[in-house]
């Protein structure tokens, strides 16, 4: 029941402090207008007045196979909101499809973060449910929601079903790279490739390996912003719909308790997320995204934090691309709650999550059911976390390598460079016999970083020359300022900072220069005299800008480098943004 002005008249506690009350409560003209337009939408006063209004931000799209089921899952989220006494409003937001969006969805991560933040700030909502999962959507939604500062729950899209081909189980991405190399080596033909097209990705959902999507949703769960166990539920499992409904209910509870996202996203939470990512053998992309997410939460996270924490945790998840199993195996082995019990000693157990007063309580009943998939500490897949941070005259601000996915013989290697000035040139010439590429060479790709790519595409897993594939070679040292897919593998040094496009040392490398990679020593060096390096630097001239107008121009002006998270400078800096005046 409401009075004529539409304000709550039933004594509901906390109504006046609801943010949405600024729009709907009181007797002024604006409140009258807002209520009238809500009636135009077909809603009765008792459906929404005095209730927590929950924004359901949905990244569903017809062209995003990872999220194609989120249209249905949004209904489950709304069901949960209604059950808990809230009022859901669904907002379609930008979809970042790793599969189809060019030059890379990384170019648009910050755009979705901006949209998320401004939608939550400018509309009459009290809390949010964030629906995503495909690679860049997870950090984008959480970056924007962290900046907006409302109560929020994240709903991961969930991994797709395992792939199948003949009698083999396939991992999306990982086996795509593998069999494409087999095709280039002449070991399989067009008929087999057509069969693989039908078996590689069999259902809605994100990649079912420990690629970027699974890594980032696991990080979100570790941060404490999901229903426990949410990150590994297969997309088509009925448990996924139940999780979505539970997330809707939880979002209403968070509003009533006024538990906002900044209270969850503490330094301790980010350190735990880093530990989980490294112990999972997760994607190198998590380094960039977690640094950016932490920055939006007022937490300074650095490459040195990743390297420090990597030395404290082993790799315990036997998951592709570094291991054998897939995400469905991981889910039924205990999922992330079970996994976190294996590294409990390095976690901050007394911090809050959206679902429990402390992480300790959240993990109290968690179990591991299969120690082949989630290994015990005395049988790790690798003794240290799966990503190493490198320094040296080629990467003064850092670079990363997923060393557990590389052939061990290459983790200490010196070889002559073969330099490609851009990705298109590399594609056109990589198989040219006149280049004389041997397994000992180091393939170097320039101008593929945040500004040079543009957008830092996943070019870092450079293809090997066909003649080497035909000889059975399957890995070489490859160096770039690009990223690579979390489903990829190989001795790929990535995220070199500063990037070559703005004059970083990578821009100065010439074919034939010796390069030394030493993962144990955490170094990457160009073995030429300092005087020669200085001479080349003095002769270097900057390339023309990629964009002259539009979003691309804004991106070029504001994008930061990989070591600081590739956020926009004007979004990453501190300062308050006031709520709009709604009256």
- pLDDT classification of 16: cutoffs 50, 70, 90: confident
**Cβ atoms of 154 and 142 closer than 8 Å:** yes
- pLDDT classification of 154: cutoffs 50, 70, 90: very high
Judgement on whether residues 257 and 392 belong to the same structural domain of the protein: no
Judgement on whether residues 225 and 313 belong to the same structural domain of the protein: yes
Judgement on whether residues 235 and 283 belong to the same structural domain of the protein: yes
- pLDDT classification of 5: cutoffs 50, 70, 90: very low
Model confidence over 438-497: pLDDT tens digits? 999 999 999 999 999 999 999 999 999 999 999 999 999 999 999 999 999 999 999 999
Which long-range contacts does 340-343 make (Cβ < 8 Å, 24+ apart)? Answer: 340/222, 340/276, 340/366, 341/366, 341/367, 341/368, 342/279, 342/316, 342/368, 342/374, 342/375, 342/376, 342/377, 343/275, 343/276, 343/279, 343/313, 343/316
Mean pLDDT of 98-113: 97
Mean pLDDT of 153-165: 97
pLDDT at residue 15, rounded to an integer: 77
In a domain, 532, yes or no: yes
The encoded tokens of residue 386 equal 């799966």
Judgement on whether residues 401 and 252 belong to the same structural domain of the protein: no
Judgement on whether residues 92 and 222 belong to the same structural domain of the protein: yes
- Check pLDDT > 60 for residue 114: yes
Model confidence over 534-553: pLDDT tens digits? 999 999 999 999 999 999 99
Judgement on whether residues 40 and 55 belong to the same structural domain of the protein: no
- Check pLDDT > 70 for residue 2: no
- Check pLDDT > 90 for residue 45: yes
Model confidence over 349-406: pLDDT tens digits? 999 999 999 999 999 999 999 999 999 999 999 999 999 999 999 999 999 999 999 9
- pLDDT classification of 295: cutoffs 50, 70, 90: very high
- Check pLDDT > 60 for residue 506: yes
Q: What average pLDDT is seen over the chain? A: 96
pLDDT at residue 11, rounded to an integer: 39
In a domain, 418, yes or no: yes
Number of domains in the chain: 4
Domain hosting 277: range is 51-161+203-363
DSSP state of 166: T
pLDDT at residue 8, rounded to an integer: 41
pLDDT at residue 14, rounded to an integer: 66
Mean pLDDT of 56-74: 98
Judgement on whether residues 321 and 347 belong to the same structural domain of the protein: yes
Judgement on whether residues 441 and 322 belong to the same structural domain of the protein: no
End-to-end CA distance of the chain: 22
pLDDT at residue 235, rounded to an integer: 98
> In 3D, which of 477, 499, 493 has the Cα closest to residue 560?
499
In a domain, 287, yes or no: yes
In a domain, 7, yes or no: no
Judgement on whether residues 140 and 170 belong to the same structural domain of the protein: no
């Amino acid at each position: 029941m409401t009075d004529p002005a539409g304000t709550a008249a039933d004594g509901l506690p906390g109504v006046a402090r609801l943010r949405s009350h600024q729009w709907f409560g009181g007797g002024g003209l604006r409140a009258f207008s807002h209520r009238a337009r809500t009636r135009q939408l077909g809603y009765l006063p008792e459906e929404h007045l005095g209730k927590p209004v929950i924004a359901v931000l949905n990244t569903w799209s017809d062209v995003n196979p990872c999220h194609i089921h989120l249209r249905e899952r949004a209904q489950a989220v709304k069901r949960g909101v209604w059950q808990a006494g809230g009022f859901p409003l669904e907002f379609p937001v930008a979809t970042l499809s790793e599969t189809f969006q060019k030059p890379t969805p990384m170019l648009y991560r910050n755009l979705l973060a901006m949209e998320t933040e401004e939608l939550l700030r400018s509309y009459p909502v009290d809390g949010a449910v964030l629906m995503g999962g495909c690679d860049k959507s997870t950090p984008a939604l959480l970056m924007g929601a962290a900046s907006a500062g409302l109560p929020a729950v994240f709903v991961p899209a969930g991994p797709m079903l395992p792939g199948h081909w003949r009698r083999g189980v396939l991992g999306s991405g990982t086996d795509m790279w593998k069999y494409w190399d087999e095709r280039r080596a002449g070991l399989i033909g067009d008929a087999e490739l057509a069969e693989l097209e039908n078996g590689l990705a069999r259902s809605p959902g994100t990649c079912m390996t420990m690629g970027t999507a699974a890594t980032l949703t696991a990080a979100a769960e570790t941060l404490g912003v999901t229903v426990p166990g949410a990150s590994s539920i297969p997309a088509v499992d009925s448990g996924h719909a139940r999780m979505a409904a539970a997330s809707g209910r939880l979002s209403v509870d968070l509003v009533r308790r006024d538990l906002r996202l900044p209270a969850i996203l503490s330094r301790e939470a980010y350190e735990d997320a880093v530990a989980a990512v490294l112990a999972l053998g997760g994607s190198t992309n998590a380094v960039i995204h977690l640094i950016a997410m932490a920055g939006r939460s007022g937490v300074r996270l650095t490459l040195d934090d990743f390297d420090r924490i990597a030395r404290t945790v082993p790799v315990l998840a036997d998951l592709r691309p570094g291991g054998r199993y897939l995400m469905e195996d991981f889910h039924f082995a205990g999922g992330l709650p079970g996994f976190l019990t294996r590294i409990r000693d390095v976690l901050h157990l007394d911090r809050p999550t959206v679902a429990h007063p402390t992480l300790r309580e959240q993990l109290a009943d968690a179990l591991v059911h299969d120690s082949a998939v989630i290994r015990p500490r005395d049988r790790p897949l690798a003794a240290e976390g799966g990503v190493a941070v490198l320094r040296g005259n080629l990467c003064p601000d850092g670079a990363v390598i997923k060393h557990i996915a590389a052939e061990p013989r290459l983790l200490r290697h010196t070889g002559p460079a073969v330099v490609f000035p851009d990705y298109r040139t590399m594609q056109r010439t990589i198989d040219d016999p006149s280049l004389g590429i041997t397994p000992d060479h180091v393939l170097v790709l320039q101008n593929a970083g945040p500004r040079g790519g543009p957008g830092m595409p996943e070019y870092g897993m450079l293809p090997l020359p066909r003649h080497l594939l035909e000889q059975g070679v399957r890995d070489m040292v490859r160096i770039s300022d690009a990223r690579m897919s979390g489903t990829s593998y190989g001795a790929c040094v990535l995220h070199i900072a500063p990037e070559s496009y703005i004059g970083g040392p990578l821009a100065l490398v010439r074919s034939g220069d010796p390069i030394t990679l030493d993962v144990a020593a955490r170094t990457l060096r160009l073995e030429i005299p300092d005087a020669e390096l200085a001479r080349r630097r003095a002769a270097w001239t900057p390339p023309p800008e990629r964009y002259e107008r539009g979003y691309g121009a804004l991106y070029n002006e504001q994008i930061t480098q990989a070591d600081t998270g590739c956020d926009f400078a004007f979004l990453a800096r501190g300062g308050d943004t006031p709520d709009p005046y709604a009256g």
